A and B are shown apart, each in its own frame.
Chain A
Amino acid sequence: AQKITQTQPGMFVQEKEAVTLDCTYDTSDPSYGLFWYKQPSSGEMIFLIYQGSYDQQNATEGRYSLNFQKARKSANLVISASQLGDSAMYFCAMRGHNTNAGKSTFGDGTTLTVKP
């Protein structure tokens, strides 16, 4: 079985500062992918970043980086230089390559509020 845990229901950050959103996961699949999505108030799920379980380096996409610690089974999202437009709900997700019929498992989400 796959499980994603996001322990922070809500987070606040000052504009221009960095923030880390926590995500831990559990899976028996040796090969898997980890994803982060942003969902603003409009409702659309926006893909942010991907990390493969065998990737040697942490993924980065612009101001987003993924702090992947495989031994700890954590995949935290780091947003640098926060902007007001970053205020949204953020979901961590994973997909096992060999299990769960290719379906993704989502965490409960973290609501991020960026303060001016």
Chain B
Amino acid sequence: GAVVSQHPSRVICKSGTSVKIECRSLDFQATTMFWYRQFPKQSLMLMATSNEGSKATYEQGVEKDKFLINHASLTLSTLTVTSAHPEDSSFYICSARGRQEAGGTDTQYFGPGTRLTVL
């Protein structure tokens, strides 16, 4: 089936450093990629939507200068948390939307997530 990879799976960093998270769709071309943040026992909170070759669309309340998104190709999107602080500690999940095969269902597939801890 469709697979979305996300790297790293876990990262611990010092306050003030920047962290880059990569998201790749492995066997399909993603028309759109999404970045979510999730707190324990809560639902997913959409941070931004990105399409290949264009600027990301951020949800209200999400700082675009804090969470930099680059969508370099139809299979790769990156999220950079700049100058991370302890309140940025969270579980970040990327998602890629596309079809496994021509004529198939347009489905959103998720990466395994990245657990960020900022000390």
Contacts and interface: CB of A to CB of B under 8 A. Distances in A.
Contacts, number: 53
Interface residues of A, number: 24
Interface in A60-116: 89, 91, 93, 95, 101-104, 106-109, 111
A47 B107 contact: yes
Size category of the binding interface on chain B: 20 to 34
Contact of B49 (A33, A103, A107, A108): A103
B71 interface: no
Interface residue SS majority, chain A: strand
B105 A50 contact: yes
A43 B109 contact: no
Contacts of B76: none
Q: What 6 A-B pairs are tightest by C-beta distance, nearest first?
A: A45-B110, A43-B113, A44-B112, A108-B43, A106-B43, A106-B44
Interface of B: 32, 34, 38, 41-44, 46, 49, 57, 91, 93, 95, 97, 105-113, 115
